């Protein structure tokens, strides 16, 4: 479904990183992206969304080239049919929740999916409220509903739960899984939280300084004492533990 092979230099000569990534994704797959701050996770999402351009490479979605630097192809974000859930939710402050969804929809307020999503996301009672009147969890659900209202072929989520407290986050995990069963869509989720990645995705990759690494096996048994992690999902490519400790596992190990 999605094939990406991209290179991009981010930042200046001294403190920047070189993103050099190759990966594929299949239809309906939920892919988790982990990595420390500044590793290039968000940049990768932004590149896939078309919000940033690459220096070289290709991104092909269902056979359609979104980016091909050789052929000078670049499909703008508005033509990619994606959903993007921003870290700060980016709900339009001048619109109510219903208006946010209707604006996003291809059919405006007449789209039955607007009301359906408001119901499914338990936002119907708040549909006429502005974003500033909502709690963090409600904003998160609203941002997700808005991203889904266009039936995107790919949903990109940039640490969508990071601003919420742990209790709300864990509550939302089951809601998100329920939503995925109802609206199966390919998802790329960026998160710092391995538990969240485990709960919400089928497969995870870790990025460090713009390159893909994987979670080494030897940390998995420690985690698996606390979590239902299937260690077979992860591939040990011989990296040492130092590369992984940049991901915040500490709260789980305590």
Partner 1 sequence: MIAGNTMMQLLNPLFLTFKLALCTATALLLIGTPIAYAIAHSRGFVKSVSCSIVSMPLVLPPTVLGFYLLLLFGPATQSGKFLIDVVHLRLLFTFWGLVVGSIICSFPFMVNPLIGGFESIPHSLTEAASTLGKTRLQTLVHVLLPNMKGAILTGTILAFSHAIGEFGVVLMIGGKIPQVTRVASIAIYDEVESFHYQTAHFYAGILFVVSFLVLFIVNSANRRIIKPI
Among 2-10, 80-88, 163-171, 240-248, which window interacts with partner 1 (CB under 8 A)?
80-88
Provide the terminal-to-terminal Cα distance of the chain, rounded to the nearest Å. 39
Q: How many CB atoms lie within 10 A of CB 227?
A: 14
Member of 23, 86, 180, 183 binding partner 1 (CB under 8 A): 86
Give the residue, chosen from 93, 112, 228, 238, that forms a contact with partner 1 under the rule CB under 8 A: 93
Contacts of 163 (CB under 8 A, 6+ apart): 87, 88, 136, 140
Q: Does 183 sit near partner 1 (CB under 8 A)?
A: no
> Is residue 164 within the footprint of partner 1 (CB under 8 A)?
no
Residue nearer to partner 1 on the CB measure, 104 or 188: 104
Selection from 200, 159, 160, 194 nearest residue 181 by Cα: 200
**Gyration radius of the chain over CA positions:** 19
Residue from 10, 60, 90, 124 touching partner 1 (CB under 8 A): that is 90
Distances 144 to 85, 160, 190, 214 between C-alpha atoms, Å? 6, 9, 14, 28
CA–CA gap between residue 246 and residue 37 (Å, rounded): 9
Q: Which of 34, 59, 84, 207 binds partner 1 (CB under 8 A)?
A: 84
* Residue numbers 222-251 binding partner 1 by CB under 8 A: none
Task: Tell whether residue 150 is a contact of partner 1 (CB under 8 A).
Answer: yes
| The only residue of 27, 28, 106, 107 in contact with partner 1, by rule CB under 8 A | 106
Q: Please give the Cα distance from 90 to 73 (Å, whole number).
A: 28
> Which residues lie near partner 1 (CB under 8 A)?
49-51, 76-84, 86, 88, 90, 92-94, 103-104, 106, 132, 146-147, 150
């Amino acid at each position: 479904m999605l094939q990406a092979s991209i290179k991009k230099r981010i930042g200046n000569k001294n403190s920047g990183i070189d993103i050099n990534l190759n990966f594929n994704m299949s239809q309906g797959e939920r892919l988790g992206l982990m990595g420390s701050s500044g590793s290039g996770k968000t940049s990768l999402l932004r590149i896939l969304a078309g919000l940033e351009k690459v220096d070289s490479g290709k991104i092909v979605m269902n056979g359609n080239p979104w980016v091909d630097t050789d052929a000078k192809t670049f499909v703008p974000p508005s033509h990619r049919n994606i959903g993007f859930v921003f870290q700060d939710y980016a709900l339009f402050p001048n619109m109510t929740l219903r208006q946010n969804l209707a604006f996003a929809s291809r059919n405006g307020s007449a789209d039955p999916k607007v009301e359906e999503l408001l119901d499914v996301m338990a936002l119907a009672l708040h549909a006429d409220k502005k974003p500033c009147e909502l709690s963090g969890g409600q904003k998160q659900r609203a941002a997700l509903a808005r991203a889904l209202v266009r039936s995107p072929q790919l949903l990109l989520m940039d640490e969508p739960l990071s601003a919420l407290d742990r209790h709300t986050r864990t509550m939302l995990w089951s809601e998100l899984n329920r939503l995925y069963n109802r609206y199966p869509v390919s998802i790329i989720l960026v998160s710092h939280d391995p538990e969240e990645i485990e709960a919400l995705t089928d497969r995870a990759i870790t990025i460090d300084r713009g390159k893909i690494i994987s979670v080494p096996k030897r940390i998995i048994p420690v985690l698996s004492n606390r979590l239902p992690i299937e260690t077979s999902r992860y591939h040990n490519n011989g990296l040492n533990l130092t590369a992984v400790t940049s991901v915040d596992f500490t709260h789980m190990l305590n």
